[in-house]
Amino acid sequence: MKSSQAAYSNARETLRQVSTTKSPTRSALLHKSKIVEGFLEETKPSQAAYIDVREERRRVLTTKSPTRLTYAQKFLKATLSFICLVSLFSCQSNKETVVLKSKEVAQETLEVAILMPLTGENSVLGKQYNQLIKMGLEDGLKTYVHVTSYDGSNEKQVLAAMDKIAARKTRIILGPLYSNLTSLIANKAKTHNIFIITMSNNPVLADKKLFVFGHAPSKQLIKIINYFADNDYKNFIALLPSGRHAQITNQLIQNILIQKNSTLVRSEFYDNIPESIEKAMSTVSNSVDNLNEMEDTATKPVIYLSDDGKNLDLLFDSIHKHNLDKKAVIIGDNRIDIDRSEPVDIIYTGSLNIVNSNIIERAKNIGINHLSFMHAVAYDLGRITSKYIGSNFSEERFLAVINGKAPYTGISGNVYFIDSIAQREYDIIKKEDGLYSTMAKSDNKF
């Protein structure tokens, strides 16, 4: 606080020095200095902003007239410009972000809404996705955009938010996260001519102005099972949580392997409790040992996992205990890439673009210590939207660009839209001893 006050005092002293310049334009400079002093009294900008002020002050005081006059004018111009920026940003509320990127002539501000769960059981992830969407927007915007975040944690919140979104004459909604909440607002958005880019992966939602940006794990399953079957891996094991979706996944794996002349030798299902997971893993471990003892086996067995959250961490504990990642190949979609103190070797579908960017470090700076694939999707949602907005938003241009076939290269991989549904390219990524490498670049688009 003291250093900030000192910097403020230095700025005022500089203005007084400028006002004593002996020059025919002294009176004009004196008048300008008083105006600047008035702004400083009202805004009191931060200490960091005075770095340039102190440098200009040094130049003004060490330069003889008439050059001093030139520096004085530059100083006043720079100070006034800074104060104007402070004034603009001081009007923002905690839930709103004004992003001013354009250097062009002022234009009408575009209203953009982010609709994510900010309260309730999904609020931690929702808030992180919200931050990353904003980061992506800010990194790519070239025009005036006003961003407002709304709570989309449940049906009541989403409907209430939609009323506010429509009242603000919003043009673009980024979110919601889930298909049922997206469907709730689809008709009202269409009535008010609002674009929606949802993070849901439900293709049924897709419409002319409703774009589905989520990723489909089943597409990744097809990619990775085909990759290993095409590379002469013959014996596969499915380790899945109990339920209808697991049965569908298991059948899809079996259908692919039949066509590839490979075998699904075992399907093991577990309940959502540690004892059931450990029992299933013990059974799988015994099956792997038996397969490895077969004389005609040229490759390791392949174990396909499909789970997330707490269960996945328990699965990896058991994999580490049974040394399964050394006796077999552990594969899955990008959800299985989680941080662990005891790393497990895995192969999954995804992209290393995020590893080769600065987004991981920037995310840590705002309290996000682990970036999953969905975090990368959230950042890309903001960044790709800023690309589609361009330097001067128009509905026709937005639709033309988003429906173009040129892929956008994001940190989650390459993506473009067909029939309002995001199409993604997945690489085959290997994580061994905590180190990442790309085993195969994508040659198929999903």
Superfamily of chain region 96-212+363-424: Response regulator (3.40.50.2300)
Does residue 24 have a cis peptide bond before it, meaning omega lies within 30 degrees of 0?
no
Q: Are 96-212+363-424 and 218-351+426-440 equal in CATH topology?
A: yes
Q: Which two tokens stand for residue 356?
A: 């080769």
Nearest to 266 by CA among 287, 296, 245, 289: 287
Instruction: Summarize pLDDT for 113-141 with one digit per residue, the tens.
Output: 999 999 999 999 999 999 999 999 999 99
Pairwise CA distance, residues 431 & 429, whole Å: 7
Strand locations in 365-412 (E): 408-410
**Structure-token match 């439900």, residue found:** 202
Q: Which two tokens stand for residue 164?
A: 């506010």
- Residue 338 is predicted with a pLDDT of 87
Domain ranges of the chain: 2-89, 96-212+363-424, 218-351+426-440
- Residue 83 is predicted with a pLDDT of 41
Q: Which regions of the chain are under pLDDT 70? A: 1-107, 443-446
Superfamily of chain region 218-351+426-440: Response regulator (3.40.50.2300)
- Cβ proximity of 142 and 101 under 8 Å: yes
Pairwise CA distance, residues 402 & 317, whole Å: 43
Q: Which two tokens stand for residue 316?
A: 């990896």
- Cβ proximity of 217 and 245 under 8 Å: no
Sheet with 110-116, edge to edge strand ranges:
96-100, 144-151, 110-116, 172-174, 195-198, 210-212, 421-424, 413-418, 408-410
- Residue 299 is predicted with a pLDDT of 95
